[in-house]
Structures are given as C-alpha cells and as structure tokens.
C-alpha cells in the first residue's frame, strides 16, 4: 500500500481531512463564543484605589 493508491481511497482521505479540519474550526469557534458569553464584566463597587 504505497503512495499510488486507488482514486476512491484518495478521495475518501481528502474528504476525511476536510471534515476534520472544518470540525476543529467550528469547535474552536463555538468555544470562543461560549467564552465570550460566559465572561462577565467586572465592575468595582466603591473606591478601592489607594
């Protein structure tokens, strides 16, 4: 099973690689969006500066 392989296997490998990269990108995007929504703005109450 060297480099010259059947076209169906090459197409399946390429499709699998594209799906994997796209899935990783979307998981990263969803994680970043969740982090933005989970983060809250810290508003200090009172004068704590010295």
Taking only the tens place, the pLDDT of each residue in 11-44 is 999 999 999 999 999 998 888 888 877 666 666 6
- Does 12 fall in a domain? yes
Domain presence at residue 23: yes
Number of domains the chain contains: 1
Question: Among the residues of 1-50, which ranges form H helices?
Answer: 7-38
Q: Is the residue at 47 inside a domain?
A: no
pLDDT of 1 higher than 70: no
Report yes or no on 3 lying in a domain: yes
pLDDT, position 15: 95
pLDDT at 20: 93
Q: What is the Cβ-side half-sphere exposure of residue 2, based on CA atoms within 13 angstroms?
A: 1
Q: What is the pLDDT of residue 32?
A: 86
Residue 29 to residue 34: CA distance in whole angstroms: 9
Mean pLDDT on 43-50? 64
Is 28 inside a domain boundary?
yes
Residue 12's domain comprises 1-38
25 located within any domain: yes
């Amino acid at each position: 099973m060297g480099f010259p392989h059947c076209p169906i296997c090459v197409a399946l490998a390429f499709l699998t690689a594209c799906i994997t990269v796209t899935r990783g990108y979307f998981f990263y995007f969803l994680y970043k969006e969740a982090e933005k929504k989970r983060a809250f703005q810290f508003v200090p109450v009172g004068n704590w500066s010295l």
